[in-house]
Structure 1
């Protein structure tokens, strides 16, 4: 089978499985780049691809495209999923599938979180603009930050959030995550208050409430790229060291605060909607020292003279 046809079939299969648009875009972006690389090496048939072909592509990504280990592993994950699909449809078998001989590279994973000071500075910045300008951007962007901090939701979940998904009476928010799975997460009192105020502002601003919670000045839902640009502007204004200032930093901060305040990993897994406990336990591994300090500080044995 020609590689370009195999990639097309893979795309149709993932669409049939209803994976998220963002995930599909990531897969296809990587496979398009891989396809271009293979054409330059005069490889057009899927069965002509070897483990060395894949490894040389990853080396190309590292040296020519300047990809860091995390990005390279992300691309390799997409390629692994593609070749495992080819094994499912019997283009390859367990023995001759070239992807099985390609391993992920070691990457130093750094999880960045905001300090209390940085969070207060961001909120104070938007508070000043809201008082002065009363603009949509100030109300919307500050509510985005508070929502991310208060829920740990993903960027895609934030952009897809509708007012019909926000239940003020029962204080929960319905999210549609990966594979269009529906999940209900609790809404804290402070977040409820902020969303209610923002909802009233939107009703006055647009004359009627938009369908989506976070919208542009025309009432259309914000795209993930628009939110990323918002954080880029905020990063320049705040000039914070050691943090990228992106949606995932708020998600990490939510997880960090939850654990530091005594929350358990099992509950955090449910709140973050991780499919595997291992994904949540990486937070425990990174912040284990701080957790140990808190465990020593509040240990019941401290009250007794042993």
Structure 2
């Protein structure tokens, strides 16, 4: 393991960074370092101009999206400021503007048709919670009965993405599905 990887892992361990974020940062930092090594640059000699050239490479040669390039910029910024210990100038290395696309929301009739066609009660409850409460699949998979509160009509979501906790709404349909499941188990 490279010396900088040990420094990065120590920082992430101290901060309590999730493993998925650690892996993503290391992968992007390694790609950047390899690019710099191909240019015969050691980490202490990296300049803002080198970072700009790498970002242009990601954009023009690799054809990456602005959102993905911004993820690279975040990893490089961390590497440059925390590991190389240099000052970051956001005026010289701006984040890319992302094109915001509106999500495709299926018509209510289509959603109801899917729910009505779902015979398996457990599958129906999963779909209703995803659609009605805005939960991710993994969040629904980790739910426990005690996370669903019929009095306040909300769902407690613990250890969600980025180890966050939150409450979300519980629809009447989702409550009925969950109550049916608890009666059958």
Gap change, CA 1:186 and 1:128, over 3 Å in 2: closer
- Give the structure 2 partner of residue 174 of structure 1: 156
TM-score by length of structure 2 reads 0.76
Written as runs of structure 1 = structure 2, the 5 A alignment for 1:1-306 is: 4-43=2-41, 45-86=42-83, 91-94=84-87, 97=88, 101-115=92-106, 117=107, 119-130=108-119, 134=120, 139-140=122-123, 142-154=124-136, 157-158=139-140, 161-163=142-144, 166-170=147-151, 171-175=153-157, 176-177=159-160, 180-199=163-182, 203=185
Task: Name stretches of at least 5 consecutive residues in structure 2 with no aligned partner.
Answer: none
Q: Give the distance between the partners of 1:163 and 1:188, measured in 2 at CA.
A: 17
List 4+ stretches of structure 1 deviating above 6 A: none
Q: Offset at 1:177? A: 3.5
SS in 2 for 1:173: strand
Q: Give the distance between the partners of 2:171 and 2:85, measured in 1 at CA.
A: 50
The count of aligned residue pairs is 183
Gap change, CA 1:34 and 1:200, over 3 Å in 2: farther
Gap change, CA 1:5 and 1:199, over 3 Å in 2: farther
Asked if the contact 1:80/1:99 (under 8 Å) is kept, the reply is no
SS in 2 for 1:101: coil
The C-alpha deviation readout for 1:8-67, integer Å capped at 9, x for no partner, is 322332233223333333322322322332232233x32121112222222222233221
SS in 1 for 2:76: helix
Q: Give the distance between the partners of 1:47 and 1:100, measured in 2 at CA.
A: 21
Asked if the contact 1:83/1:99 (under 8 Å) is kept, the reply is no
CA RMSD of aligned residues (A): 3.1
